């Protein structure tokens, strides 16, 4: 048996620890404060819970293969054709479809370094070459350097926006200048997993540029603001020529029936999604100000997390918070050994984090 040579150095994606894993590791039964995986702190929508209860008796059936109602609902939300929507088992699966469709071994993709690790993982799986471009000093995508590194072999440029793990965004003028210079044979993937949390109304979304005719695929997920991380549901929006091919490489029934029903239900719960977004915006502001007051550098974020520079004490803080049942994400794997990424939690969780950091700093209330 001959394993593909380019898979020999493939390492697994490092997921955030789950609550059950932490309880086993720490041998505790107390509540865990989970601020490590950018999940929705509110839990699922009540409408989702209700529809899932009512759908359990149907799980012996296959779902509708076209998922037409969900695609139609999303199309109306974004004012595109249902045929432009491609559904995936999480937005990760859409990335897989892109590689299956466009990338041959030895083709190139361009990513920022760091960014969402799965872009690199899929490139390794499909034997593509990776050009990793360092971020700017402000921890934003370095669009000028990306343009300089485009070659005839370049097939895809991945841009997570807001960026993970910094939470940074790109201004409109920078987007427009960049898009005008990218050759038309290259697909630009704008990953908006955290796009719902952008507070600045002047920051454009990828859908705007797709409608203006650029070769773009916008990635969206139900895992963050929409509270369905455990059901794995994501989608892409792109031009018809590409969406038709992506749908051909999609396996039948790739979305399970519960994820499909839950997606429809949460899209109807306007109150829930508004509350989800507001709690992040308010918590992001609170944590940014509180941690800045403690003397830490907090990078400006438009996502549902903040990246904080704790200096040489980052690992100590991570381990001590972990012992106390407060989970945050170390960023050593992203190239920031002195930083931690903190997901925005409920108000009481955010306050608990700050109080414990004060305690670790020996600061009295």
Question: In this predicted structure, what is the pLDDT of residue 10?
Answer: 73
Question: HSE on the CB side for 18, CA within 13 Å?
Answer: 5
Residue at 202 is within a domain: yes
Residue at 276 is within a domain: yes
Pairing of strands 297-298, 108-113: unpaired
How far apart CA 151 and CA 108 sit, in angstroms, is: 8
Read off the CATH number of the domain in which 179 is found: 3.40.640.10
Please check whether residues 154 and 252 belong to one and the same domain: yes
Residue at 5 is within a domain: no
Decide which of 236, 268, 300 is a domain's last residue: 268
Tokens of 305: 């997390």
Question: In this predicted structure, what is the pLDDT of residue 8?
Answer: 67
Q: Which domain holds residue 241?
A: 46-268
Question: In this predicted structure, what is the pLDDT of residue 23?
Answer: 67
Question: Residues 96-152: pLDDT tens digits?
Answer: 999 999 999 989 999 999 999 899 999 999 999 999 999 999 999 999 999 999 999
**Low-confidence residues of the chain: pLDDT under 70:** 8, 13-17, 23, 26-30, 363-365
Decide which of 243, 268, 293 is a domain's last residue: 268
Overall pTM > 0.85: yes
Tokens of 333: 């794997």
Please check whether residues 19 and 100 belong to one and the same domain: no
Count of domains in the chain? 2
Question: In this predicted structure, what is the pLDDT of residue 58?
Answer: 93
Question: In this predicted structure, what is the pLDDT of residue 275?
Answer: 98
């Amino acid at each position: 048996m001959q394993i593909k040579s380019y898979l020999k150095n493939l390492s697994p994606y490092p997921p955030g620890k789950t609550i059950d894993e932490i309880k086993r590791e720490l041998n505790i039964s107390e509540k865990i404060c989970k601020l490590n995986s950018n999940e929705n702190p509110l839990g699922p929508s009540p409408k989702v819970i209700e529809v899932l209860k009512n759908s359990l008796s149907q799980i012996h059936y296959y779902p509708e293969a076209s998922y037409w109602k969900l695609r139609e609902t999303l199309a109306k939300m974004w004012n595109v054709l249902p045929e432009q929507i491609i559904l995936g088992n999480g937005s990760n699966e859409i990335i897989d479809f892109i590689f299956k469709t466009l990338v041959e071994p030895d083709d190139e993709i361009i990513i920022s370094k760091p960014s969402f690790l799965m872009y690199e993982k899929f490139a390794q799986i499909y034997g593509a070459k990776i050009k990793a471009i360092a971020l700017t000093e402000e921890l934003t995508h370095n669009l000028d350097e990306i343009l300089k590194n485009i070659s005839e072999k370049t097939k895809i440029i991945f841009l997570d926006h807001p960026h993970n793990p910094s939470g940074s965004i790109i201004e409109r003028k920078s987007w427009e200048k960049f898009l005008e210079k990218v050759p038309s044979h290259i697909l630009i993937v704008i990953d908006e997993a955290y796009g719902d949390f952008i507070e600045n109304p002047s920051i454009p979304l990828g859908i705007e540029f797709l409608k203006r005719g650029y070769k773009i695929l916008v990635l969206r997920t139900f895992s963050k603001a929409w509270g369905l991380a455990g059901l794995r549901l994501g989608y892409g929006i792109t031009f018809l020529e590409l969406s038709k091919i992506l749908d051909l490489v999609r396996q039948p029934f790739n979305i399970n029936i519960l994820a499909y029903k839950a997606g429809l239900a949460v899209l109807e719960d306007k109150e829930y999604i508004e509350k989800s977004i507001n709690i992040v915006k308010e918590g992001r502001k609170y944590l940014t100000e509180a941690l800045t007051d403690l003397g830490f550098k907090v990078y400006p974020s438009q996502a549902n997390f903040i990246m904080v520079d704790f200096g040489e004490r980052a690992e100590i803080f991570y381990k001590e918070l972990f012992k106390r049942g407060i989970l945050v994400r170390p960023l050593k794997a992203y190239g920031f050994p002195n930083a931690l990424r903190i997901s925005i939690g409920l108000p009481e969780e955010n306050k608990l984090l700050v109080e414990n950091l004060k305690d670790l700093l020996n600061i009295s209330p």
